[in-house]
Structures are given as C-alpha cells and as structure tokens.
C-alpha cells in the first residue's frame, strides 16, 4: 500500500449513528491512523429515535451523542456536505472543497420521502432531523389540528406524542391497516384500536390526493382541515451525491455493499440506513432502516478496515449477518421486532392480540425466522436468541403464551 497505517486517513461521510459508531469503533479496534468525520447537518452528532418521542414532547432538549471526539483523536467537520465521489482519485468532493482519503466509509443514512406536490407548502412537515423535530415541537405546544399522512412507525409515534400534547389528530393511511409493508394486515388490524383509544382518528384505505395550504384533499374528494400536515410515508437512502461515481446502487437507492460491507470501489465501505447487504441468514439482500443496524454494522466496517490494512493482510475478514432488530414506542406500548419474515413463512400467534401483551412468530422449516412482541420483552430476548441460533422449535409450544419461548425447543 506504500504508506504506513498510521499515515493513512479514514474519511467517514455522514455523522449519524452509523458514521459516529464507525469512527469510535475504529479507535476501539486499534486503528492508528487519522479519522475524519464529515457531517452535513450543523448540529453536534445526535441520535434519531428520541426525536419522535422525548424531544418532540419537550421532555428532552436534544439527543446529542455522548462521544468525546477530541479525546479519541477524531476530526469532526459539521455543516459540510459531500457532493460527489471520485473513487479513482480517492477524493470526496464537498461544498467546501475536496477531501482525500485512503479508506472511505459512506454513512449518509436516509432522508424522509416527501409527498409529491407537498414540498414547500406552508405547514407541511417531515420528521427526520433535529430541525424537523424542533418545528414539530412548536406544533405540539400549540395543540394544533394535525393530519398525519401514513400510519407507519413514524406516523404512529408522532400521533402518540401529538395526542399526549393535546392535538387533534387524523391519520390517513392508503393501506388497509396500520404499518402496511412492514407487517401483515391480519396482525396490524389489532393495532387500529390503539389509535382510537388515544383519541386519534385513523382513516385507512384512503390516499391523499393533494396537500393544500390549511389541509389535505383525499382521493374520494373529502377535504380535511389541518394547521399542520405531517408526512410519514417512508425514507430512502441519501445516496444522490454518489450519482456518476460508479458506486453500485440498488433500485431502492441503497449502496450495494457486500458481506464485508464493502462498496463496489476499492477501499470504500457503506453502512447504516444508506446501504443494503446480502443476508446469508435470510438468503436475500436487506436494506434495514433501524437503529440497531446503524450500531452493529460499524463494528464490521471498523474490523475490516483495521484488518484489511495490516501489512500481511492476514487478519480474518469480519462478515455482516445480523438478526435485524428494532423497537417502537407507540400508544403506551413497547413494540419490538427481530428477524425478517416473508409471506411464505408460517405465522403463529402467541397470546391474544386484543389484550395488552402478545407476540407473533414466523416459522420456516421448523425454525423461528422472525418475531413481533408487543409488551413481551422476554419473548423478544428469547426469540432473538433462537433466531440467531437457528434452533428448531415446536410450533404448538410456540403458540402457547404460557410456555417461555426458550422452552419451545424440542428436548429430544
Ligand atoms: C424520528 C425517528 C425515530 C426513529 N425511531 C427509531 C426507533 O424507535 N427504533 C429504531 O430501531 N429505529 C428508529 N429510527 C431509525 C434510526 O434512527 C435510523 O435507522 C438510524 O438513525 C440510522 O443511522 P445512520 O447513521 O445510518 O443514518 P442517519 O441517522 O440518517 O445519519 C446520516 C447522516 O448523514 C448526513 N448526510 C447525508 N448526506 C450527506 C452528505 N452528502 N454529506 C454529508 N453528510 C450527509 C445526514 O445529514 C445525517 O446526519 C428512527 C428514525 C427517525 C427519523
């Protein structure tokens, strides 16, 4: 490679959880060279989950990550946007000049998808950044009349906070039940009452035709008045800046990383919300937009950068093959999911979904593939281990909520 490792510089683009963790992990795993963390937002690097929870309600002022960058020898440059990548010259172009790298980590995360025609309309909000949360905090404080577009994870958490603040909330969802795309309607139909009990109105099977000043127009012609419209219709990888770079991107916009989280150019890695990876465990490529992925992936990237630059190149490659995990706090409930299911998997209910606590399991070939737990964190913890270990399970015992999930493994 020519230059020694301590003379080499890793540049990390994107200062969210994945970028910050990559920088921290590099130091923890003994990277001796320079580390430069470049973030587009002007704020101290922060965590996103609190934005739709405590920060929105004014219970926390910010969600800054508690990292002493100076002590770790990490150079942080905030408010600096990467605009292009030239892998052949190992250069990142930014709005403040070019930056040379020896190793590059793309950690630019995702951006919230806007509703076509709604951009720039006064009173229309997204919820992705600290600035978005600050604007919405004022909406909540004014106890406004709000229309939420989308009953996904963000829509549900925002609605929870807005109802707690005393806002009048109507949620409009094009799918037939909450969380379409993420979970089957036969399960999420049981979440519909959560909205109603909170005092929000949920209208499913209704798309928004247009967003206007002071409200939205639905496909059926109905007009809903609103002081504020909150759009929660999903997120997509923030990879527009890689156009023309030759870095392979999927149809979903995610960087096509390999099992070591390497992108398609030499010495370039990608991690977190911006990258998909081939899951050996599930036999398909996954694009995961959840916090745990932004925490775990960086360990693998740091290990591969650290090992891959050793003089003899003999250190073992670290492979990324996680059991995906996420949680959501909505309507006073703790909702957790581990694994990855498809419509082909056998769905096994565990407990009554009209009660406060229940789970749903997905089985494939006699093993647990995925699990959704509502108010049953023990199911989640035990199920996650069963999924990771690919342990065979007995479907009848899985269905018995009185039997601890770990005891669903056949004994003989
Ligand atoms: C409101 C909210 C609540 C959430 N709650 C949960 C939850 O309860 N549970 C859960 O599991 N997950 C949750 N998530 C998801 C989780 O926060 C994300 O998966 C995680 O933040 C991804 O981290 P990341 O670093 O990959 O991306 P990001 O957090 O998106 O960070 C990427 C950073 O890169 C910067 N960037 C982008 N482009 C450029 C560029 N060209 N140049 C420089 N910088 C750039 C961005 O400004 C951003 O700061 C939530 C997300 C949101 C938005």
Please provide the size of the chain in residues.
412
The three-state secondary structure class of 214 is coil
Burial environment of residue 59 by CB neighbours within 10 A (0 to 12, 13 to 18, 19 or more): exposed
Ligand 1 atom showing the smallest separation from residue 327 Cα: 9
**201 CA distance to ligand 1 centroid (A)?**
29
**313 CA distance to ligand 1 centroid (A)?**
33
Pocket test for ligand 1, best of 23, 106, 109 (most atoms within 8 A of CB): 109
Residue 262 dihedral angles phi and psi, to the nearest 5°? -90, 140
Q: Which has the closest alpha carbon to 357: 372, 340, 342? A: 372
Q: Which protein residue's CA is at the shortest distance from atom 30 of ligand 1?
A: 109
**16 CA distance to ligand 1 centroid (A)?**
6
> How far apart, in whole angstroms, are the C-alpha atoms of residue 224 and residue 215?
5
Ligand 1 atom showing the smallest separation from residue 21 Cα: 25
Torsion-angle region of 14 (φ positive above 0: left; ψ -120 to 50: alpha; else: beta): left
Q: Are strands 124-125 and 228-231 parallel, antiparallel or unpaired?
A: parallel
pLDDT in tens, 99-157: 999 999 999 999 999 999 898 899 999 999 999 999 999 999 999 999 999 999 999 99
User: Sheet containing 82-86: which strands, arranged edge to edge?
Assistant: 82-86, 91-94, 97-100
> How far apart, in whole angstroms, are the C-alpha atoms of residue 214 and residue 401?
47
Pocket test for ligand 1, best of 14, 36, 50, 132 (most atoms within 8 A of CB): 14
Q: Whole-model pTM?
A: 0.97
**62 CA distance to ligand 1 centroid (A)?**
15
pLDDT tens track of the chain, all 412 residues? 467 888 899 999 999 999 999 999 999 999 999 999 999 999 999 999 999 999 999 998 779 999 999 999 999 999 999 999 999 999 999 999 999 999 999 999 999 999 998 988 999 999 999 999 999 999 999 999 999 999 999 999 999 999 999 999 999 999 999 999 999 999 999 999 999 999 999 999 999 999 988 999 999 999 999 999 999 999 999 999 999 999 999 999 999 999 999 999 999 999 999 999 999 999 999 999 999 999 999 999 999 999 876 666 557 889 999 999 999 999 999 999 999 999 999 999 999 999 999 999 999 999 999 999 999 999 999 999 999 999 999 999 999 999 999 999 998 6
Ligand 1 atom showing the smallest separation from residue 19 Cα: 25
Q: Which protein residue's CA is at the shortest distance from atom 44 of ligand 1?
A: 40
CB-based contacts of 78, cutoff 8 Å, min separation 6: 15, 39, 41, 42, 43, 44, 45
The three-state secondary structure class of 406 is helix
8 A C-beta contact, residue 300 and residue 22: no
**322 CA distance to ligand 1 centroid (A)?**
19
Q: Angle at CA 53, nearest 5°, toward 51 and 58?
A: 80
Ligand 1 atom showing the smallest separation from residue 288 Cα: 19
**Cβ of 325: how many Cβ atoms within 10 Å?**
20
Beta bridge partners of 168: 145
8 A C-beta contact, residue 57 and residue 161: yes
> How far apart, in whole angstroms, are the C-alpha atoms of residue 124 and residue 130?
16
**Cβ of 206: how many Cβ atoms within 10 Å?**
16
Angle between helices 153-164 and 130-141 (to 10 degrees): 40
**300 CA distance to ligand 1 centroid (A)?**
19
**49 CA distance to ligand 1 centroid (A)?**
9
8 A C-beta contact, residue 404 and residue 394: no
In this structure, the residues whose C-beta lies within 6 A of any atom of ligand 1 are 13-19, 38-41, 48-49, 51-52, 81-82, 107-110, 127-128, 154, 238, 241, 272-273, 289-292, 294, 326-328
């Amino acid at each position: 490679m020519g230059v020694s490792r301590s003379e080499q510089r890793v540049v990390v683009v994107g200062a969210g959880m994945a970028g910050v963790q990559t920088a921290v992990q590099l130091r923890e795993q003994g990277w001796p060279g320079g580390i430069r963390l470049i973030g587009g937002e002007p704020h101290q690097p922060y965590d996103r989950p609190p934005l739709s929870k405590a920060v929105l309600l004014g219970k926390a002022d910010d969600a800054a990550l508690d990292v002493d960058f100076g002590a770790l020898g990490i150079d942080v440059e905030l408010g600096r946007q990467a605009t292009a990548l030239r892998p052949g010259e190992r250069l990142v172009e930014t709005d403040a000049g070019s930056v040379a790298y020896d190793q590059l980590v793309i950690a630019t995360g995702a951006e919230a998808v806007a509703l076509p025609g709604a951009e720039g309309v006064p009173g229309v909000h997204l919820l992705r950044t600290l600035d978005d949360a600050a604007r919405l905090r004022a909406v909540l404080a004014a106890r406004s009349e709000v229309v939420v577009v989308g009953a996904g994870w963000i829509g549900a958490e925002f609605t929870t906070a807005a109802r707690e603040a005393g806002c009048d909330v109507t949620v409009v969802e094009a799918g037939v039940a909450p969380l379409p795309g993420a979970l089957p309607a036969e399960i999420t139909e049981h979440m519909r009452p959560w909205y109603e009990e909170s005092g929000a109105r949920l209208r499913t099977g209704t798309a928004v035709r247009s967003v206007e000043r002071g409200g939205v127009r639905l496909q059926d012609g109905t007009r809903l008045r609103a002081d504020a419209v909150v759009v929660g219709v999903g997120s997509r990888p923030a990879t527009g800046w890689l156009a023309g770079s030759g870095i392979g991107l999927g149809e979903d916009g995610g960087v096509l990383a390999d099992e070591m989280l390497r992108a398609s150019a030499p010495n370039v890695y990608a991690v977190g919300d911006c990258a998909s990876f081939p899951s050996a465990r599930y036999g398909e490529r996954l694009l995961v937009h959840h916090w745990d992925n932004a925490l775990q992936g960086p360990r693998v990237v740091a290990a591969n950068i650290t090992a891959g630059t050793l003089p003899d190149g003999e250190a073992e490659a670290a492979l990324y093959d996680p059991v995906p995990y996420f949680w959501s706090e909505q309507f006073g409930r703790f909702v957790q999911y581990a694994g990855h299911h498809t419509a082909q998997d056998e769905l096994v209910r565990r407990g009554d979904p009209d009660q406060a606590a229940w789970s749903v399991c997905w089985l494939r070939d006699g093993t647990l593939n995925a699990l959704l737990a509502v108010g049953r964190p023990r199911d989640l913890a035990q199920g996650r281990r069963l999924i990771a270990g690919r342990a065979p399970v007995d479907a009848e015992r899985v269905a018995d909520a009185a039997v601890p999930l770990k005891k669903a493994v056949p004994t003989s």
